[in-house]
Amino acid sequence: MTGYSVDGRQFRTQADYRAALKDKEQIDAIKSKVNMQQPGEVLTLWGELAAGKYVFKSILGNDFKDEISDLAEKYKKQGYTKSSRIKTAGRKAAAGNAKKISKKEKKSGKAAKNNKEHPISIEDYDEDMQNEIRAALKQNERKRKLLIALCTVIAAGCFGYYGVYYYFAERTQSDYNKLADLKGSKTLTSPGVTIHYDDEDDVELEVLEEYETLYNKNKRLIGWLKIDDTNIDYPVMQTTDNEYFLDHNYEQEYDKNGSLFLDADCDVVHRNTNLIIYGHHMKSGKMFGNLNKYSSQSYCEEHSTIQFDTIYEKGTYQVMYVFRSKIYNEDEIVFKYYQFLDAASEQEFNSNMQEMAAISLYDTGVTASYGDELLTLSTCDNSEEDGRFVVVAKRVG
């Protein structure tokens, strides 16, 4: 693939290349000011990055954030905290202020003594001035009370919002725990299911026994996704569009957590080259809220296997690529991972593999050949507008 290179990253256009050069310049400037061997400085930098103090326009910025995040986590595990550095700085500042105050006290000692002997009170002013002072004090008191009332309302609203948010999150998790218990249940069983694709193509398929009850509760169930030692253990739904399950759960109730769902154009029977599963990046960690942990190579190595069963067959996948992307305009000529469902030729397949390898955050050592079956997990990423975080895996069993 042709393009431009910055710090080992390849860029297709001059605009992306220039953005990467600017990011590198900013990153080098930051590193020149921060001692990476000092835990306090690293933790402070990570706090600034999390607060959005620095804005990056290319993948180099994400790489830098991941680097600082890993280093900050390392120092936190070693017992360092940002507050310890703040306290040290505070003690130094306090010592300096004490010296300044001491000098001021020497110069103004006489004035202070006079003030103590003759303190000023409101009665020292004439009646008109006293009225003005009292009016000003009343106005300030009204403002203070209004501000307190406003803050109370805002606080109540925030607590209410988060209360509702976490109520739905916990309710959703509880519901999905119950669904997980129904896997393998004999509550609702059925014989084989006949799928009619057209008048000439009748395919008779047997739903796996462990999913029969779940399927008979909701015919839109298409499979189940599970990653060991994570919270990702959910049913996967599918309907004729990619909108419905953005805000509906398995029970087809409104739920802002939505559901994991298979792209409407994917076919688990006449198998696509690549099956794409979407899910919300919830702050609570539900759905694909923790998928971006795969930005760490060590995390990927510990969770390299993904289990995705369709309702007809089991499947095991191994993580191959991890990258950040975005939703592009239709007229933009650029690799769009979400349009890669089928490869009509080996050349087309290899081209898509090269595109994903070029933007992958690290090398997993796993590759795929034409004919392999792929699985893509996609969720939102707030590092840029319409950003996406993507994990691609190859079927190995």
Q: Which domains are delineated in the chain?
A: 4-77 (no CATH), 219-395 (2.40.260.10)
CA 176 to chain centre: 21
pLDDT at 383 over 90: no
How far is it, in rounded angstroms, from Cα 292 to Cα 391? 9
Share of the chain above pLDDT 90, in %: 50
- pLDDT above 90: residue 98: no
Q: Average pLDDT in the 238-256 region?
A: 93
User: In angstroms, what is the C-alpha Rg of the chain?
Assistant: 30
pLDDT tens-digit series, residues 297-306: 999 999 999 9
Report pLDDT digits (tens) over 304-325: 999 999 999 999 999 999 999 9
When pLDDT is averaged across residues 247-266 and rounded to a whole number, the result is 94
Q: Determine the pLDDT at residue 28.
A: 92
Q: Tell me the average pLDDT of the chain.
A: 83
Look at residue 96 and give its three-state secondary structure. Answer: helix
Please say whether the beta carbons of 393 and 315 come within 8 A: no
| Helix, strand, coil percent content, the chain, rounded in steps of 5 | 45, 20, 35
The model's pLDDT over 6-22, given as tens digits with 9 standing for 90+, comes to 888 888 788 888 888 99
What integer pLDDT is reported at residue 83 of this predicted model?
Answer: 47
pTM of the model: 0.59
Separation CA 83–CA 64 (nearest Å): 23
Query: Which pLDDT score, from 0 to 100, does residue 136 have?
Result: 79
Within 10 A of 226 (CB to CB), how many other CB atoms are there? 15
Please give the torsion angle defined by the CA atoms of residues 249, 179, 239 and 269, in that order, rounded to the nearest 10 degrees.
Answer: 160
Mean pLDDT across the stretch 60-77?
A: 88
